[in-house]
Amino acid sequence: MTPPTGDPPPALPGERAIRAVPPGRAIEWYGEALRLFKRAPVGFGLLAVAVAVLQILLSLIPLAGPPAANVIVPIVAGSLLFASLAVDRGERPRAVHLLAPFAAPAQAIAAVIAGALCVSGAEWLAGWHLAGVNTLSIEGLSELSAQDIVLVYVVGVAVSLPLTLVPLLAFLEGAGVRDAFGSSARAFARNVGAFAVYGALSLVLLALVMVTQGIAMPIVLPLWAASSYAAWKDLFGVA
């Protein structure tokens, strides 16, 4: 399927060869992310703030808010992927990128939602198993010890690694659940070492967000998105 923001790839995700790269390449993915971020820090930061504010507002709504956040926020966060693509092409992040994910095919949006629910579900199970806490509520999160919070997020990152490229394959290539999950999992299987390093670096950035009480979020969110964009380009040979 033709991607919504550029020329069609040479083949569908499931039909393309996936590169195998050394573990250290994950550092280069973050290096490329930093390069993209430095070209438009304000634009990236404003999009990240919008995503973070949406997360907070939805989380404050009793009962339905947190589950809704697990569905809506990952879609809106896709704006940072579209912004990464735009900056890579010499353009700038724009407010319209916040709406770009909703213009993706329904099957692509479904893939992103499914991936997000896998991660949030794993974190919920971890929180319930470790502390008997419902991580879908602010009250539940406040009851977690610092150690439990770290463990919950470690579980979340571990589960997310095989799904790292799902949003890229979905939003930028129009892949559905089967193709996006399958291709992302195959990329992970061929590059376990690189994704392990990538996960470790992502946890370091998460720790930075926690230590700064969220102040670093306008920098960290774009770096997460742009680094996954760099990984997608690298592993799938996207020009």
How does pLDDT run across 83-101, given as a tens digit for each residue?
999 999 999 999 999 999 9
Give the pLDDT band of residue 221 (cuts 50, 70, 90).
very high
pLDDT digits (tens, 9 = 90+) for 3-51: 444 444 445 555 578 999 999 999 999 999 999 999 999 999 999 999 9
Task: Please tell me the predicted confidence (pLDDT) of residue 145.
Answer: 67
pTM of the model: 0.88
115: its two tokens: 């991936």
Q: Give the C-alpha separation, 208 to 157, whole Å.
A: 15
Task: Compute the distance between CA of residue 152 and CA of residue 164 in angstroms, rounded to an integer.
Answer: 18
Say if residue 191's pLDDT is above 90.
yes
- Band of residue 169 on the pLDDT scale cut at 50, 70, 90: very high
| One-letter amino acid of 142 | S
Map tokens 């950035």 to a residue.
Answer: 205
Q: Give the model's pLDDT for residue 143.
A: 64
47: exposed, middle or buried (C-beta count within 10 Å: 0-12, 13-18, 19+)?
Answer: buried
